[in-house]
Every structure is written in C-alpha cells, then in structure tokens.
Amino acid sequence: MKLHVLVPFVAATVFAACQSAGEDDEDVLEINRVLVIGNSITYHPIAPDIGWHADWGMAASARENDFCSLLEASLLADFPELAFMRENVYPFERHYDDLDFEQYAYLKEFAADLLVIRLGENVNTDKLEGWNFSERLQAFTDYLTGETGARIIVTTTFWENAVVNEQLLHAAGVEGWETVSLSHLGEDEQYMAIGAFENPDVARHPNDKGMRAIANLILQSILARG
C-alpha cells in the first residue's frame, strides 16, 4: 500500500500501520465502500437565511476542504476503486426515538464495508434517558450495515458534550466499534471559522484547519488496522 497522509503530524503513525500491513498479507487493509453519516459538519445545503451559501461541510472554504472530501481524496489515492458516500442524518439526531429507518433505505442499499459515524451535536439532551440514544444508534447502525458486517468507526462530538459522548461511547463499547476523539478540537478556536461568518452558529463550525484535523484523525483510525 502506498502512503498518503494529509499533514505531517500523522505520518509516523500511518507509516507504521502500513508497514505492519505489508509484513503480513492477512492484515492488508481492504476498503471498497465507505459511508459517512453525520450532520452539518458532514454536509449542509445552501441556507441563505443563516449566511451559508455553499453545499458542503459547514464551514469549509470549498468542497475539497471539508473533512469528507479530504478523507475521500486520501483514501482514493490508496484505493482507486473506492466508492465513497456521505449523508446528513440530522433527522436521526433529533428524532432517534421514533424515526422510521426505512427513509434511509438508500444508505442501506449502498452496502458499505466501512461506516464512519460522525454526529451527536444536535441530540436533544433533555430526551436522554438511560442508554436510549445509544440503543437507537446501535439499531440504526444495524439497519444500515447488518447484512454487510461492516467495520464501524464512531467519533465523539466536535464540541464537547459529555452526556452525548457517553451515549456514543457506550454504543461503541457494546458493539465493539472503533472510536475517534474529536472534542478537544472544539475547545480551540483555531479549529473554528470564528470571524468568517456573521452567524455565530455557522462560525463555530470547523474551518479548513478543523476539517483537516477531523479528516486526519479518522484517517489514522482507518489505516491503523493492520
């Protein structure tokens, strides 16, 4: 496998992972179909009412600078036949307790062999009770990937949210999913688009540096298999 990383700080880790894979043919990483589910950080359509005039991950400066595009470009360099799909599943975040999963049948039909779950910021914490969000996330994930046996990676929220992260990590622990911590990024304004947008909610989203950091951390986790 060739080595492709986004910025130097992950090079040593990724290189070590690729070397390990090369030493044992049984550990060579194979990825064919990647699905990323998320919210506005993953994709947001044009919304002039909040000052957002693009249709990619909010608040990247261009489509190629959002985390999904960066992740896809890096993976394609090593897996040129890769199929990559992203989807904003905001309705699941808000209505997880009674959402009809069948509205996402097209995501199930994509038959991903790698699912990246990168959401949680829009979960209404007043509705959290026991492990209700964790259990519904497990059910939703099983609906999307149950027949494919997909590898699953879940991230924490971008902005620190202890109660939601607890639910996300609980689901990961029960199901054996891999986890990627992102919440430290949302505590540092250098990773946000502060000043670039008049709307404060848009401006708190990851800027290009934040998007690159998210992509790098997820990429590290993906390539660490081996």
- Asked if pLDDT for residue 226 goes beyond 70, the answer is no
- Asked if pLDDT for residue 102 goes beyond 80, the answer is yes
The set of residues, in sequence order, having a beta carbon less than 8 Å from that of 212 and lying 6+ positions away, is: 6, 7, 65, 67, 70
Question: What Rg value do the Cα atoms of the chain yield, rounded?
Answer: 17
DSSP designation for 192: B
29-88 tens-digit pLDDT:
899 999 999 999 999 999 999 999 999 999 999 999 999 999 999 999 999 999 999 999
* pLDDT confidence band for 19 (50 / 70 / 90): very low
CA distance 93 to 39: 8
CA distance 102 to 159: 29
* pLDDT confidence band for 147 (50 / 70 / 90): confident
C-beta separation of 117 from 67 below 8 A: no
130: left (phi over 0), alpha (psi -120 to 50) or beta: left
What b/e readout covers 72-94, taking b as 16+ CB neighbours within 10 angstroms? bebbeeebeeebbebbbbbebbe
**Mean of pLDDT values over 105-111:** 97
Go through the chain and tell me how many residues it has: 226
Lowest mean per-residue pLDDT among 27-31, 39-43, 116-120, 142-146: 27-31
CA distance 23 to 125: 46
Domain ranges of the chain: 32-223
* CA dist 50 → 45, 54, 81, 183 (Å): 11, 11, 37, 24
Res 202: pLDDT: 98
- Asked if pLDDT for residue 4 goes beyond 80, the answer is no
Q: Which CATH architecture has domain 32-223?
A: 3-Layer(aba) Sandwich (3.40)
**Mean of pLDDT values over 175-200:** 98
Q: Which residue has the tokens 């896809």?
A: 72
C-beta separation of 57 from 68 below 8 A: yes
- Asked if pLDDT for residue 25 goes beyond 90, the answer is no
Res 27: pLDDT: 61
**What percent of the chain lies above the pLDDT cut of 70?**
88
- Asked if pLDDT for residue 126 goes beyond 70, the answer is yes
Cis peptide before 213 (omega within 30 of 0): no
Which pTM value belongs to this model?
0.89
DSSP codes joined into one string, 12-80: HHHHHHHHHHHH-GGG-----EEEEEESTTT-B--BGGGTB--SBSTT-SSGGGSHHHHHHHHHHHH-T
- Asked if pLDDT for residue 172 goes beyond 70, the answer is yes
Res 88: pLDDT: 98
